[in-house]
Amino acid sequence: MLATLCHEPFSGGDWVFERKLDGERLVVVRDEAGARLYTRNRKNVSDTYPELVAALDEQAAPGLVADGEVVAFDGAQTSFSRLQGRLGITDPGRARSTGIAVTLYLFDAPVVAGHDVTAVALRTRKRLLVRSVEAGDGVRLSRHRNTDGERYLREACERGWEGVIAKRVDAPYRPGTRSDSWLKLKCVQAQELVIGGWTEPQGSRTGFGALLVGYHDGSGLRYAGKVGTGFDHRALGGLRERFGEVETGTSPFRDRVPESGVHWLRPELVAQIGFSEWTRDGRLRHPRYLGLREDKDPADVVREEVR
């Protein structure tokens, strides 16, 4: 179930408010054979987070399908950049040896004790989740506030969080849909965008100069601008290596891209991009690279519209 962007904070007895985490969305499946972890686009990432699988085997009851997010902390803040050091690793031993500790926050449960509970109210699903999972050892239950969303968002921004998710307490769980029953209120602007090309590096820069990114709008991939900041040496080298797997001779964008020295890519890689705002002509202002999104299907990447 996906959230819709909302710019106006609000309160109400029909809503609960949760911390918006800066990590990788995961689905937990715990049956008699043990626990498994999947991304939103159905990739099995159990070997990427072996310590979480072990914890869920001990702490979660069989017959459970739960919705959550895995995060890595940098001090008191969740850091998607730090989590990048675990993404894509498929060897459990290597994953553990990174030294990057991860925590799984669970916030919903579409299936409990083998029963489909997607039709019941969120508040009931949360109670069922509490009964099905014992928190601790890397697995936690996401806390929520029942009222006063405006104050919670102010506190979130003061603490340096990414934002708040508001959820209707009586809403069913609708897998795969972006619903007005879940709303995200952000402290900073950021969203996923498809990488469609890159430019040559200039000066002392290595790897590449900038990413050319876009989003789908029903008529094709629309160009949203170039992203030239936010990269460290590891990101520059790692991305440049990935580009070799998806190079193509033609532009994937519907729009004309006003850049020179461009190399085109098949639209298969998704990046998380922070920015200050959208311009009137549909371009990003002050964009910066935050990391790759291995859990996102490029076909699902659209420009987030405000409710």
* 167 given a catalytic annotation: no
Smallest Cα–Cα separation from 192: which of 294, 119, 277, 75? 294
For residue 119, the tally of other CB atoms under 10 A from its CB is: 10
Strand 64-71 and strand 103-112: the pairing is: antiparallel
Catalytic residue selected from 20, 126, 167, 186: 20
Q: Is residue 88 within 8 Å of 167, Cβ to Cβ?
A: no
Q: Which residues contact 229 (CB under 8 A, 6 or more apart)?
A: 287, 288, 289
Q: Is residue 16 within 8 Å of 164, Cβ to Cβ?
A: no
Q: Is residue 58 within 8 Å of 136, Cβ to Cβ?
A: no
Smallest Cα–Cα separation from 208: which of 199, 217, 216? 199
How far is the C-alpha of 101 from the C-alpha of 162, rounded, in Å?
20
Helices (H), the chain: 50-59, 80-83, 92-97, 122-132, 149-158, 233-243
Smallest Cα–Cα separation from 307: which of 1, 6, 2, 3? 6
How far is the C-alpha of 211 from the C-alpha of 229, rounded, in Å?
9
Question: Which residues carry out catalysis?
Answer: 20
